[in-house]
Amino acid sequence: MKIGAAMFFTDYSMGPAELAVALEERGFDSLWAPEHSHIPLVRRVSHPSGEALPKQYYDVMDPFVTLTAAAAATSTLKVGTGICLVVQRDPIQTAKSVASIDRISDGRFLFGVGNGWNQEEIEDHGTAFATRHKLARERIEAMKLIWTTSKPEYHGEFVDFKPMMAWPKPVQTPHPPVIVGGAWPWGAKRAIRYGDGWMPHRVRQHYADVAALIPQFRAEAAAAGRGEAELPITIWGVREDREALLADRDLGVDRVVLSLAAAKRDVILPELDRWAALVRAVA
């Protein structure tokens, strides 16, 4: 099992290149960056944790910019969006961003995607909140065609374009893995339908611990004709608990990701040093 780390990169956190080097030196598998274009000051929907929205949500940098800096500073560390809000992004331009960072990183990009919870943020981008899930599926299907065909075209309810030419193509074949974030059961169902992996949070309001749902997820995937190797599981928001991590490994979890504070090196590096032993223990 692999261990990754995530950070909201801000003007008061470690820089992405600095953190990426520190992670690679300690044997971590990946670095993840979240996305919020902005935070509307009036919101009807609360954060899925039920807690007040932390300051870093308002201040986070663009993930493709920060992850490019991280990729350029490292040679083996994977870099991933955790998650990219595809319902707020043009699919043609996003397909180019994904292919470009996959090229720059020499095939080390992980395309974590999600459909979002912040209704006002989503609607500010011209997306209807109620139909965002279908929009996301069409945009991902369209991006896959852009990455894998020389003259892609797509005709859906929300995404529609005639034959085009779009380069570069990604290094990874057929394309970087599309790892679908989201809670049980609907996030899992979306991962089974069009993803290359499922990325749930360790604990959310909808379930006590996602580990208990893994057998059911695999059974539903098998019923849909998708094997375990096609849909690796990445668990987000893990704690510094050796026994729990070993239990995840024994369940066949592919990767876990710890969430780091948006802080400087004096706070982060001691935490990474402690985690380095866990990285070795679960490998």
The pairing of beta strand 198-199 with beta strand 178-181: parallel
Q: Which residue has the higher pLDDT, 165 or 283?
A: 165
| Architecture field, domain 2-282 | Alpha-Beta Barrel (3.20)
Q: How confident is the model at residue 206 (pLDDT cuts 50, 70, 90)?
A: low
**Is residue 188's pLDDT more than 60?**
yes
Closest CA to 232 of 271, 200, 266, 259: 200
Q: What pLDDT digit, counting tens, does each position of 144-169 carry?
A: 999 999 999 999 999 999 999 999 99
What Å distances lie between residue 261 and 10, 14, 74, 265, 280, CA to CA? Answer: 10, 10, 21, 11, 22
What is the rounded average pLDDT of the residues 66-72? 98
Q: Are 13 and 33 in contact (CB under 8 A)?
A: no
The token duo for 204 is 């959310």
pTM of the model: 0.96
Count CA atoms closer than 13 A to 84's CA, side-chain side.
28
Residues sharing a CB contact under 8 Å with residue 98, sequence separation 6 or more, in sequence order:
109, 111, 143, 147, 170, 175, 176
Closest CA to 279 of 251, 235, 249, 252: 249
